[in-house]
Amino acid sequence: MPSIVASREFREEQDSMGVVRVPAEAYYGSQTQRAAENFAGSGIKPPTAFLHALALVKRCAAQTNAVLGILETRLADAIVASADEVLTGAFDDQFVVDLFQTGSGTSTNMNMNEVLASRANEILTGQRGGRSPVHPNDHVNMGQSSNDAIPTALHVAAARHIDQALRPALDHLRASLAQKSIAFNHVRKIGRTHLQDAVPMTLGQAFSGFVRQIDLAIERMDAVMPRLCELALGGTAVGSGLNAHPQFAGATIERLSNLTKIRFTEAANHFEAQGARDAVVETSGALKTVAVGLVKIANDIRWLGSGPRCGIGELRLPALQPGSSIMPGKVNPVIPEAVIQMAYQVMGNDTTITLAGQSGNFELNVTLPLLAHNLLQSLDMVAVAARLLADKCVQKLEADEKRCEQFIEQSLALVTGLVPDIGYDRAAELAKRAYDTGKTIRQVVTEARVLPEKRIDELLG
């Protein structure tokens, strides 16, 4: 076993490459310290949700290996206890390796293995650090490789986020939009196509379109879950399962499913599960589509609320904060603007994920930490954006019914309702006359006496 010499500030650990000085109070060991020194660049750390998912994998693996009789129960129990502590966030400061590291995520895997082993040894012996009695590779990493554990943790973290955060947030936004669709259903407004006046509709109908967008967003995220929930665990180094017990993957994945209440399955083909990250790319693509939908909704709301006197002004947005450092009284549509920016970030992340997803060279994708960072950030941003839009904007929207009605009355497109009675050409002639004279369609049609007044009122509303 490697020797550990504690000093006031550092301890020395001996590994296969020599002696490494590790902070005396650190729970991580030599491999983490080497990685921390090699990859000290961006200042970005792997996502906490990803690290906790990895700890969950290690926890379930230890239990499985104990049941299979290949790991002493007392060692497994200590690993489980240390993993439970990691899951509370108690050791978040011990994960010190930069996000941009070896593409397999091996450094983060070893960071986790060493922290869990060190804390397990402390539980068993009272001594922090070292590799006895619990060894980070032989015991914590038993039946695993970074090449299957890291993608497994990525998929678990993403699926949990969809289940616990994104899906509820989209449901919440949908409910808020549906409520406004009903509340605004009686409010007639002018429709617009090509940024030009079109025919009348209701504000509720416009919001029903938003509701359907979110319905489809939910369907898209539900649709990716079966592929995302296929886990690479059990493939070890290249997908062949070398050094893993034949029952290890199935039993461990069953434990993960029971703990998370999400139905995870073992990969149908471990070579695909480690060489490709298509499920991550697919999930990101669905997220991008959801983000595009949020931009559409947020943009329409802020345009309909533009003004308050010199814009469209059919909606009154909540006044949340002063909008200008120079113009007193100005209030801006800050929530839609924030949502749009988050959506754009998701679209950028999707481009990165697309490029990273192509990096499945032979039996391993070598951009796993980057994929984890971008996908989990996108999931978080869409969930936050959906709740923000619902709570701070949609729920507080009001319709300016008087302004909506004024626009309808002024619209030249109102003449479209007369076409079945007077024909397209006659209607176009009347629309031009209204435009040239500045009169409304109702005024021009009434003056021309092309239809009885009662019929005009029936057609124009």
Q: How far apart are CA 177 and CA 209, in angstroms?
A: 9
- Among 37, 1, 44, 8, smallest CA distance to 23 is for 8
Neighbours of 452 (CB within 10 A): 9
**What dihedral angle (degrees, nearest 10) is formed by the CA atoms of 255, 256, 257, 260?**
120
Q: What are phi and psi of 412, to 5 degrees?
A: -75, -25
User: 3, 42, 132, 324: which is the annotated catalytic residue?
Assistant: 324
User: 194, 270, 359, 378: which is the annotated catalytic residue?
Assistant: 194
- Among 216, 250, 218, 259, smallest CA distance to 231 is for 250
Q: How far apart are CA 119 and CA 404, in angstroms?
A: 66
Let me know the angle formed at the C-alpha of 348 by 346 and 351, rounded to the nearest 5 degrees: 115
4-6 and 10-15 as β-strands: parallel, antiparallel, unpaired? antiparallel
Q: How far apart are CA 163 and CA 182, in angstroms?
A: 28
Q: How far apart are CA 234 and CA 228, in angstroms?
A: 16
Buried b (16+ CB within 10 A) or exposed e, 289-323: bbbebbbebbbbbbbbbeebeeebbbbbbbeeeee
Token duo for residue 227: 């592929």
Q: How far apart are CA 352 and CA 359, in angstroms?
A: 11
Q: How far apart are CA 212 and CA 29, in angstroms?
A: 52
Q: Is the dihedral of CA 232, 235, 240, 241 positive or negative?
A: negative
**What dihedral angle (degrees, nearest 10) is formed by the CA atoms of 14, 18, 19, 25?**
-60
Token duo for residue 433: 């006359």
Q: What are phi and psi of 297, to 5 degrees?
A: -65, -50
135 is catalytic: no
194 is catalytic: yes
Catalytic residue numbers?
194, 324
